[in-house]
Structure 1
Amino acid sequence: MRVLSISTLYPNEHTPNFGVFVERQMQAVAKRGDVDLTLVNPIGLPPFPLSLHPRYRQLRDLPEREHRSGVNVLRPRFSLLPMVGARFNAGAIVRAVLPLVRRLHAEQKFNLVDAQFFHPDGYAAVRIAAVLGLPVSIKARGADIQHWGRQRATAAQVRKAGRRATGLLAVSNGLIDDMTALGMPREKITLHRTGLDADLFRPYDRRLCRDQLGLPRDKPVLATVGALIPRKGQRYAIEALAKLPGAILLIAGKGDDEAMLHRLAAQLGVAERVRFLGAVPHAELPVLLNAADVLVLPSSSEGLANAWVEALACGTPVVTTPIPGAQELITDPDWGRLVPRDGSAIAAAVSALLAERSSPERVQEAVAGMSWQANAAALVEHWRRLAGA
């Protein structure tokens, strides 16, 4: 079976953590050997003079073709209008990608078009699939439905993509509910959770991990992992820290909230107990997660956060909000607590977990059976069903 997958979320040498979960999934698909996979990773570049910004200069210099960790990756460029052009991105991707895929399809026909994110990938995929006369699958992961599916500029495209697709995937049942609320047919949607590299994300010696990071062995350590944006809620983790004397908070990630978070830590008198680590390479996250006693991620919305899954696999319990994906995953008090976005509530939940100290093996049970191999098998089965292959 030949599959054309479109994903604007995909790592490269300059942004190695961007969409790393898509790359892990596609690597597992490629390793199976029963799918001829072509991954199209459209790169958005703004017009001059914005194109001179260092971020875009790096993207412009990426190779247009790359065999990356077993996956053939193609990177056509499309015109991007940062901040204001979201409604135009899908159309720009179609114009950039269609000539390329038409040529590839003429050389050897694809069986299916796949999109790994609903916006802008999904709407672009249904338009390209219509031209090629192929079935199309779109996967929903969280913000693509919960944010772009509600934005005035993009909501209509998200709804159209969901209605026109042959089949849909979602990482949680709560996200399926959100999709049906937008008018997408529930019978089209299949639950497809994330995967896990259990060889990498597993319990390590906590004392050695703390030594490696220069952390004291005798102090409570909290960690939060994710982009520094309002939706992830790192500010509430800092507020909780102020109510946990002696505890240390590790913040892994980059984003627009960073300056505000530094100011908040200073205002609350905890700046010396907050460590901003920047973007931590994915392969180094197990050391961070094992060094921590608790992962704190007070998100306002998620599909099924990879950070939850990876922390639990390391034997580290999670404190997050009672959003649907978390309610489905964290169903045992040994695995974590679901509390409001409130510093006092988070601090109380962390204190309870520190007092109970469930074993890492007990916490690991939350993600038993999750793997990228199982994820890839379910994905390929879904593709075959849609393509009749």
Structure 2
Amino acid sequence: MRVLIATDTYPPDLSGSSFFADRLARGLAARGLDVHVVCASDTGPRTDVVRDGVALHRLRSVPLLIHPTVRFVPPPGVHGVLRRLVARVRPDVLHTQDHFTIGRAAVAAAVRSGIPVVATNHFMPDNLLPYLPRWLHAAVSWLAWRDFHRIYRHADHLTTPTRVAADLVARTGFEREVEPVSCGVDLSRFRTPAASATDPRMWARKELELPDLPTIAFVGRLDAEKRLDELIRALARITARVRAQLVLAGRGTRRAELERLACAEGVREHVHFLGFVPDEQLPAVYAAADVFAMPGVAELQSIATLEAMASGLPVVAADAVALPHLVSPGENGFLFTSGDVAGLAAVLTRILTSPELRDRMGAVSLAMASRHDQDRTLERFEEIYAAVSAGRGPAAKG
């Protein structure tokens, strides 16, 4: 089967959608599918390359000024480029990851050519609104969802990572069924460090040149919707009782601001900014930690949280959107109310000061992560592709 994946964000862009599209493409190729991806060029000019068994068709791009971790494909000419690409590749199915410049052009080209469309939604306006004036939020949110409806109504089958995310789409008035399909996680990959040393935590800290201290980890973009200021303010409360450290892996628009905040809170020496961490080094980041924190309020699933759980870590997360889907309070971690810095500090301190609690919660996280095995995700998408390409309409589970 030949699949064309359309996505406006793809590595080295930093986003959950980007990482999912990359792992989906490589995973499907490893299972024997003929996989093509159309995405933004990582350098600017248009290129066609094959990487990890995946044919990448990278379109001319420019930096996105409001979001330096993402590149943008200008709309002029894109519809023509996608029509020609679809005619040349002749996929059995198109799988779009979004409804922006590339996604909408790819859907239009597929519909025009009679090619079935699978559409996955990773979008919610909350990812965009922090970069706009508050008075525009309601109007932009309404327009963004209307645009989503206009493009995704052409899909033969729709998915999104969680039931919460599917319900969110339904509340916008979208009347089509949306199936929850987890982004998935490679369970074996994130347990690898445990076999690398007698004490994997100490090994990982040495590998990352971190002090051997109780460690809170965050992996993701250092952007407004992640609410990392709350984590730094919480750390100031924690260090009054426990000599702990915070490790932030990722880059984003708020790094300089977060560094200034850490200085103002008196915890700069306890906050380690790792910057961008290559995919192959991510297991070491999780292995170095005692607890994973995700204070973001715009997560439709959170791949990083899944990876932390697959690494056997307790999770402390904001009680927002889909994060409660991954945290069972008191079992594998705790939820806190966004903005409640004291509450966040309290539950982090509780985990950091109790090795028994940490180990028990980590074991539950690992068990919960097993339900999100990447192989299940890949198998389900293969079933969906087979159904829609055979003209059977929306693919029934199982």
**Shorter chain as normaliser: what TM range?**
0.7 to 0.9
Which of 313, 332, 336 is equivalent to 1:335? 332
Q: 2:173 aligns with which of 183, 189, 192?
A: 183
Contact kept? 2:39, 2:102, Cα under 8 Å: no
1:32 matched to 2:31? The reply is yes
Structure 2 residue corresponding to 1:288, chosen from 285, 289, 297? 285
2:215 alignment partner AA: V
Distance 1:261 1:145 in 2: 20
Match of 1:116 in 2: 97
The answer to whether 1:211 aligns with 2:196 is no
User: Secondary structure at the residue paired with 1:175?
Assistant: helix
Alignment CA distance shift 1:147-1:17 (3 Å): closer
What is the match of residue 395 of structure 2? none
Q: Paired residue for 2:3?
A: 3
Question: Post-superposition shift, 1:166?
Answer: 1.5
Matched letter for residue 201 of structure 2: R
In the alignment, which of 299, 319, 323 is matched to residue 322 of structure 1? 319
> CA separation in 2, counterparts of 1:120 and 1:304?
23
State the alpha-carbon separation in 1 of the partners of residues 73 and 60 from structure 2.
14
Q: What is the distance in 1 between the residues matched to 2:65 and 2:188?
A: 38
The alpha-carbon deviation at position 99 of structure 1 amounts to 2.1
Separation in structure 1 between the aligned mates of residue 298 and residue 66 of structure 2, nearest angstrom: 21
- Distance, in Å, in 2 between the alignment partners of 1:237 and 1:256 is 16
Residue 161 in 1 paired to residue 151 in 2?
A: yes
Query: How many pairs does the alignment contain?
Result: 365
Q: Distance in 2 between matches of 1:143 and 1:154?
A: 9
**Structure 1 Cα separation of the partners of residues 315 and 261 of structure 2:** 23
Asked if residue 59 in structure 1 is aligned to residue 31 in structure 2, the reply is: no
The Cα shift of 1:175 comes to 0.8
* 1:168, distance to aligned residue in structure 2 (A): 0.7
Partners in 1 of 2:165 and 2:125 — Cα distance?
Answer: 10
Query: CA separation of 1:146/1:264 partners in 2, compared to 1, >3 Å: closer, same or farther?
Result: closer
Q: How does the TM-score come out when normalised to structure 1?
A: 0.85
Question: How high is the sequence identity, in percent, across the aligned residues?
Answer: 28
Quote how far apart the aligned CAs of 1:4 are. Answer: 1.9
In 2: Cα distance, 1:16 partner to 1:273 partner: 26
Runs of at least 4 residues off by over 6 Å: 14-18
Q: Retained in 2: the 8 A contact 1:312–1:363?
A: yes
The answer for the alignment partner of 1:309 in structure 2 is 306
Give the Cα–Cα distance (whole angstroms) in 1 for the partners of residues 331 and 16 of structure 2.
29
Q: Shift in Å at residue 170 of structure 1?
A: 0.5
Equivalent in 110, 118, 139 of residue 137 of structure 1: 118
> What is the CA RMSD across the aligned residues, in angstroms?
2.8
The DSSP-based 3-state class of the residue aligned with 1:197 is coil
Whole-angstrom distance in 1 between the partners of 2:163 and 2:15:
29
Distance change in 2, residues 1:128/1:301 (3 Å):
same
Q: 1:24 to 1:104 in 2, by over 3 A?
A: closer
What's 1:96 paired with? 81
Query: What is the alpha-carbon distance in structure 1 between the residues aligned to residue 219 and residue 62 of structure 2?
Result: 31
8 Å CA contact 1:209–1:290 kept in 2: the answer is yes
Aligned equivalents of 1:352, 1:272: Cα separation in 2: 22
Tell me, in whole angstroms, the C-alpha distance in 2 between the residues paired with 1:145 and 1:225.
19
Check conservation: 1:5, 1:38, Cα contact below 8 A: yes
2:126 & 2:78 partners in 1: Cα distance?
19
